[in-house]
Structure 1
């Protein structure tokens, strides 16, 4: 049979181990609250020009790598909205092929959409240093 001393020692060990687990849990929760290290679009400009009755549009922007490793094959997904009705006029993506964005560095992108309007960047995907595809759901409108 167990005596009182053995039972109290087991209780002490369980209490101590649960205390350590809760400390580890707090550290893990604190890590989750930090800002994510992602590749994000920092600036977007949409220029429209009418040449001989035909509208031409040019969407340019900057992408910043905030991760700890280089980012490759970055893809930027965008939507263009009608400024008055907020209806989607066009959705598409552009890719920085064969470009490596070092950590903390920026790169520029260019795409020629068929329509003009309000620009919303929806998603950024990239190939990380460990050869895994990562993504960041940016969902940010850029005023023009």
Structure 2
């Protein structure tokens, strides 16, 4: 299921989700930097990234951000500020394997070359008489 920017923006609420850049980038380092939804963009496969991140960076709080746990004084850690309900952890999924995305520039027009395993084998010394 793809997430549409216009839909995320429509459901978002006024106000920035983070009080400053340190808080925002600290939270994104824990959640977005490893989320599978943004992996094609991070790996240069897709030209567009996660629309939830974009909405958050443009100063609106996405509906996909649920408030995280707080202590008795209302404090929270940067990593737990929000829980993103669209987060997909690496290695999660199970079930049927998904096909690998097409490499940039191939556009699915040609057969994909099989990857071969390359191993480094150190050269062996051979005694040569001179």
TM-score range, shorter chain: under 0.3
**Structure (1/2) with the larger strand percentage:** 1
Task: State the TM-score, normalized to the length of structure 1.
Answer: 0.19
> In terms of Rg, which structure is larger?
1
